[in-house]
Amino acid sequence: MEKGYFITGTDTNVGKTWATIALMRYLKNQGKSVAGMKPVASGCLMQDGQLKNEDALLMQENASLQIDYDLINPYAYESPVSPHIAGINNPVKLNQLVAKFERLKNLADIVVVEGAGGWYSPLNERETNSDLAIALSLPVILVVAIRLGCINHARLTYQAIAQSGVNCAGWIAVCTDSELLNRDENILSIKAAVAVPLLGVLPYTEVADFDFLSGQLKL
């Protein structure tokens, strides 16, 4: 079993957080102690005198142990824009994120790290989520939103991951469009086009049932 996974997506708002929490639940059901990490988050709200992100709080809630928020989400930005813009006065430093990850690694068997946006989404003026995944030396799981255009987005993102030289452990299909025609055919087309296993299909649902969603995964 790997020490962790880096979750990336074909775009923003593709279901990465639902996939991340489902994966955390799945790994906990395998008897592993699990922590979640959202290194960089934009669109945070002030809670108890601190900027906090809804997704990161969900990871904190679903961890196997109590973990300080600062360790889960080191860079929390208020403005709901790309981190390289939101963090202009407090730019992301990859070495700090690696240090926080190393601390989490010592607390749990598995750390599931959710990137911000897509594979090449910028974290600061020079570095992207791909640089963070490489720095953390984690296998990558690609989350694909099954919607119009998903085949192209999935193939392009998978190609970029492969060219980065990191290990892609597989991909998760998240059905985000309840009205999409030929959903199964789209999933089969992606499955045939990428050389890594399909780890699960998360059906469309209005409200997340993470116990159900975790049951759709198989690593």
Residue whose token pair is 């049932």: 209
- Examine the residue annotation and report whether 38 is marked as an active-site residue of this protein: yes
- Do 217 and 172 touch, CB atoms closer than 8 A? yes
**What would the two tokens of residue 176 be?**
């985000």
203 assigned to a ligand binding site: yes
| Tally of CA atoms within 13 A in the half-sphere of 64 that contains its CB | 21
Please give the Cα distance from 76 to 68 (Å, whole number).
14
139 assigned to a ligand binding site: no
117 assigned to a ligand binding site: yes
Catalytic residue of the set 3, 16, 28, 38: 38
Residue whose token pair is 């309840």: 178
165 assigned to a ligand binding site: no
34 assigned to a ligand binding site: no
83 assigned to a ligand binding site: no
Please give the Cα distance from 150 to 14 (Å, whole number).
10
11 assigned to a ligand binding site: no
168 assigned to a ligand binding site: no
204 assigned to a ligand binding site: yes
Please give the Cα distance from 42 to 142 (Å, whole number).
21
Residue whose token pair is 């993102």: 157
- Give binding residues for ATP as ranges: 55, 114-117, 174-175, 203-205
Residues noted as catalytic: 38
| Binding site, annotated residues for Mg(2+) | 17, 55, 114
Specify binding-site residues: 17, 42, 55, 114-117, 174-175, 203-205
Binding residues for substrate: 42
